[in-house]
Amino acid sequence: MTGRDHAEKLDRDDPLASFCERFVIADGERIYADGNSLGRLPLHAAVRVDGLMAEWGELLVTGWSRWIELPVKVGDLLAQVVGAHRGEVLACDSTTVNLYKLAHAALDLRPGAIVVDEHEFPTDRYVLEGVATRRGVPLRRLACDPVAGPQPDEVAAACDGAGLVVLSLVNYRSGALADLPAITAAAHEAGALILWDLSHAAGAVEIGLSEHGVDLAIGCTYKYLNAGPGSPAFLYVRADLQDELRSPIQGWFGQRDQFRMGPAYEPAEGVERFHAGTPPIVGLAAVQAAVEVALEAGIAAARAKSRALTELTVRLYDERLEPLGFRLASPRDPDRRGGHVSLAHEDGWQICRALIELADVVPDFRGPDTIRLGFAPLYSRFVDVWDAHDRIAGLVESGRYRDVPADRLRVT
Ligand SMILES: *Cc1c(COP(=O)(O)O)cnc(C)c1O
């Protein structure tokens, strides 16, 4: 059996251990296992947002001459997170809106079917369904193993006549990490553009967008990047594609020479043409600070720790939870797994709710039966993983989880 002393040793040897102190941890007893859904608050972000509020109070509208740079500045920081060049990433809008913009732009350039994983995150499936209907192109839902996720040969087989392939690098449900180089090559081979959704990957895994010639990407900043609830998202467009693509939202922030306020829309040069309206500056200040913390830790170091955290999770599942009726709903191979681990159980919903209400462990739940454990690398300790498993095992062994109501809440 893996004892708590093993987890304590991993914490002692952890090069990122001190980053815990960079985050607000209000309740030391509570174990936070939902960093893949909403990251903790970095102290640096709170300070930066306070500073922005002070600027607003003092500078009023004259502050815009400095604030207007933020989407590109923050985009350049995010480029370091996703392995892109300066000028290829813009911090703007939500992931949902960025998908809409880039999907239409891509299909203008490469008309054809849209290919999406049938297990893709809901907003991606819904947006693409709307885009396909509006454009009168087929939407192909790729059937694949729900735990392992889409494989390169499956994508290749679905790509005939496709204009655009949209996939998550890390699947929100199973945590499967897709083979980005091989799948990107397969889409290109078929003449399609590829758009990667990095929402569950950014800040947890290393991503080489430039290295692998990725066309387009989107992602959010409130998960492993810790920029706060509803913080602005980002989009990436490879430099050589930028002039060929146009946003379907012809907003004034994407306009060339914006303040000339000319009669007709003419897209700005570079990635800024994918802007829509006035950027959310308070949110962008939080993204900037949060991403600075992530880059200070280093994405390679974050990935190494995240991998070790999920390895410990799987090992403790094998020893303590599998005998209690849990089933591993994530890939076992750490090279094919992102930053969270999913465990299915027939009483999953009640166990998840009991963990929050009776055991001070906060995971989340994805129906019909899956508990997700997301120990984010910058502020999670290995003993958190051990203690969480100990509390889960205690609740299930004793049957105490049956004390909480079995009805569902609005947000799970
Ligand atoms: C979290 C997530 C989103 C979120 O989209 P929003 O527009 O921020 O609501 C989209 N796609 C994937 C794959 C996600 O994991």
CB neighbour burial string for 373-401, b if at least 16 within 10 angstroms, e if fewer: bbbbbbbbbbbbbbbbbbbbbebbeeeeb
Strand partners, 219: 234
Which pLDDT score is estimated for 28? 87
Which residue has the least CA distance to atom 14 on ligand 1?
199
Which pLDDT score is estimated for 322? 98
Q: Is 197 a catalytic residue?
A: yes
DSSP per-residue codes, 326-365: -EE-S-SSGGGB-S-EEEE-TTHHHHHHHHHHHS-EE-EE
Which residue has the least CA distance to atom 4 on ligand 1?
95
Catalytic hit among 23, 32, 121, 234: 121
For 11, other C-beta atoms within 10 Å of its C-beta total: 15
Q: Is 40 a catalytic residue?
A: no
Q: Are strands 139-142 and 89-91 parallel, antiparallel or unpaired?
A: unpaired
Alpha carbons 163 and 160: distance in angstroms, whole number: 9
Strands (E), 63-192: 89-91, 113-117, 139-142, 162-168
- Tens-digit pLDDT profile for the chain (412 aa)? 899 999 999 999 999 999 999 999 999 899 999 999 999 999 999 999 999 999 999 999 999 999 999 999 999 999 999 999 999 999 999 999 999 999 999 999 999 999 999 999 999 999 999 999 999 999 999 999 999 999 999 999 999 999 999 999 999 999 999 999 999 999 999 999 999 999 999 999 999 999 999 999 999 999 999 999 999 999 999 999 999 999 999 999 999 999 999 999 999 999 999 999 999 999 999 999 999 999 999 999 999 999 999 999 999 999 999 999 999 999 999 999 999 999 999 999 999 999 999 999 999 999 899 999 999 999 999 999 999 999 999 999 999 999 998 887 777 7
Alpha carbons 6 and 265: distance in angstroms, whole number: 61
To test ligand 1's pocket by mutation, which of 95, 168, 235 has the most ligand atoms within 8 angstroms of CB?
A: 95
Q: Ligand 1, closest atom to CA 124?
A: 11
Token duo for residue 121? 């995150």
Alpha carbons 236 and 84: distance in angstroms, whole number: 8
Rounded CA Rg of the chain: 22
Whole-number Å distance, alpha carbon 6 to ligand 1 midpoint, is: 35
Whole-number Å distance, alpha carbon 98 to ligand 1 midpoint, is: 10
Which pLDDT score is estimated for 411? 77
Which pLDDT score is estimated for 225? 98
Pocket (CB within 6 angstroms of ligand 1): 94-96, 121, 123-124, 168, 172, 197, 199-200, 220, 233
Token duo for residue 30? 């509570």
To test ligand 1's pocket by mutation, which of 100, 171, 172 has the most ligand atoms within 8 angstroms of CB?
A: 172
Token duo for residue 267? 């897209």
Which pLDDT score is estimated for 410? 75
Catalytic hit among 197, 369, 384, 387: 197
List C-alpha distances in Å: 237 to 60, 197, 241, 272, 382.
33, 12, 7, 10, 37
Q: Are 39 and 22 in contact (CB under 8 A)?
A: no
Q: Are 22 and 293 in contact (CB under 8 A)?
A: yes
348 residue type, one letter: G
Q: Is 372 a catalytic residue?
A: yes
Alpha carbons 339 and 37: distance in angstroms, whole number: 11
Catalytic hit among 48, 140, 173, 223: 223
Which pLDDT score is estimated for 407? 82
Q: Are 391 and 359 in contact (CB under 8 A)?
A: yes
Token duo for residue 139? 């939407």
Whole-number Å distance, alpha carbon 367 to ligand 1 midpoint, is: 17
Q: Are 392 and 345 in contact (CB under 8 A)?
A: no
Which pLDDT score is estimated for 146? 95
Whole-number Å distance, alpha carbon 114 to ligand 1 midpoint, is: 19
Q: Are strands 162-168 and 193-197 parallel, antiparallel or unpaired?
A: parallel
Which helix or strand (DSSP H or E) is residue 195 part of?
A: strand 193-197
Whole-number Å distance, alpha carbon 218 to ligand 1 midpoint, is: 9
Residue 368: cis peptide before it, omega within 30 degrees of 0: yes
Whole-number Å distance, alpha carbon 210 to ligand 1 midpoint, is: 22
List C-alpha distances in Å: 270 to 73, 134, 267, 375.
14, 27, 9, 37
Alpha carbons 75 and 169: distance in angstroms, whole number: 19
Q: Report the SS3 class of residue 42.
A: strand
Catalytic hit among 224, 372, 381, 384: 372
Q: Ligand 1, closest atom to CA 200?
A: 15
Backbone angles phi, psi at 143, to 5 degrees: -85, 130
Token duo for residue 186? 């397969």
Q: Ligand 1, closest atom to CA 223?
A: 1
